[in-house]
């Protein structure tokens, strides 16, 4: 059970990556059964995208926490801006791709994002953070 | 565009979807972070807890953006 915010963020990072691996395996299997090879690729890309983006949020906050307030602000919102730009470019590239299956990609992203939210909420609720750190 | 059909648009409507999917969560994340900065400035000793709460707020808000940006894959 994490007792500092830094410990909580590092545990969250590990659990998010584990969840993405689970979605990749389960989604890849389901996708392969329903859509064949494109379904497998879609689930893998969807899980990877959600994992990278979840990890970027956690990293931007934990790196930003070591900076003064202005740096923290820039790190978190700058990280968010870069993330959305990357995501929009990736979506644009994947829209014309023939090696993925659209619905499978969508459901893999949604499953990873919602699973990530469940993991994050569980971690925050179970953490015993002191009112005052340092 | 002819004189009768003045509301004619050309291009991909998914682009409007991208914009809508980014604007709401953009405002939301900006608010979450700005309020956290404000709170840390008032009570710096609470920074750790505030950052954790902020992280959960960002995660929930950006979920909308990620799902919104991926919707053209099922509605196309």
Per-residue model confidence as pLDDT tens digits over A112-130: 999 999 999 998 888 887 7
CA of B2 vs chain A CAs: smallest distance (Å): 31
pLDDT in tens, A89-105: 888 888 888 888 888 99
The pLDDT-based confidence of B3 (bands split at 50, 70, 90) is low
The pLDDT-based confidence of B9 (bands split at 50, 70, 90) is confident
Contact yes or no for A57/A79 (Cβ under 8 A): yes
Q: Does A16 touch chain B (CB under 8 A)?
A: no
Residues on chain A touching B62 (C-beta within 8 angstroms): 53, 57, 80, 83
Answering whether pTM is above 0.90, one says: no
**ipTM of this complex prediction, to 2 decimal places:** 0.81
CA of A101 vs chain B CAs: smallest distance (Å): 8
Nearest CA in chain A to B53: A124
- Torsion from C-alpha of A76, A81, A84, A88, nearest 10 degrees: -160
Residues on chain A touching B72 (C-beta within 8 angstroms): 91, 95
Whether A73 sits inside 8 A of B51 (CB atoms) is no
Rounded Cα–Cα distance for residues A37 and A31 (Å): 8
Interface of A with B in 32-71 (CB under 8 A): 50, 53-54, 57-58, 61, 65, 69
Rounded Cα–Cα distance for residues B17 and A106 (Å): 15
pLDDT in tens, A2-61: 778 888 889 999 999 999 999 999 999 999 999 888 889 999 999 998 889 889 989 998
Rounded Cα–Cα distance for residues A79 and A83 (Å): 6
CA of B37 vs chain A CAs: smallest distance (Å): 7
Rounded Cα–Cα distance for residues B51 and B56 (Å): 9
């Amino acid at each position: 059970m994490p007792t500092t915010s830094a410990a909580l963020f590092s545990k969250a990072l590990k659990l998010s990556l584990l969840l993405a691996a689970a979605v990749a395996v389960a989604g890849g299997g389901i996708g392969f059964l329903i859509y064949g090879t494109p379904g497998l690729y879609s689930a893998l890309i969807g899980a990877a995208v959600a994992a990278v983006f979840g990890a970027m949020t956690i990293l931007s906050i934990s790196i930003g926490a070591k900076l003064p307030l202005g740096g923290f602000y820039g790190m978190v919102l700058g990280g968010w801006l870069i993330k959305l730009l990357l995501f929009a470019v990736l979506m644009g590239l994947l829209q014309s791709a023939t090696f993925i299956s659209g619905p499978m990609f969508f459901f893999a992203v949604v499953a990873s994002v919602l699973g990530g939210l469940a993991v994050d909420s569980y971690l925050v609720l179970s953490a015993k953070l002191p009112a005052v750190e340092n | 565009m002819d004189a009768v059909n003045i509301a004619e648009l050309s291009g991909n409507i998914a682009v409007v979807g991208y914009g809508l999917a980014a604007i709401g969560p953009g405002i939301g994340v900006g608010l979450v972070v700005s309020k956290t900065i404000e709170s840390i400035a008032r009570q710096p000793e609470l920074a750790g807890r505030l950052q954790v709460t902020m992280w959960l707020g960002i995660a929930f808000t950006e979920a909308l953006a990620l799902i919104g940006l991926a919707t053209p894959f099922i509605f196309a």
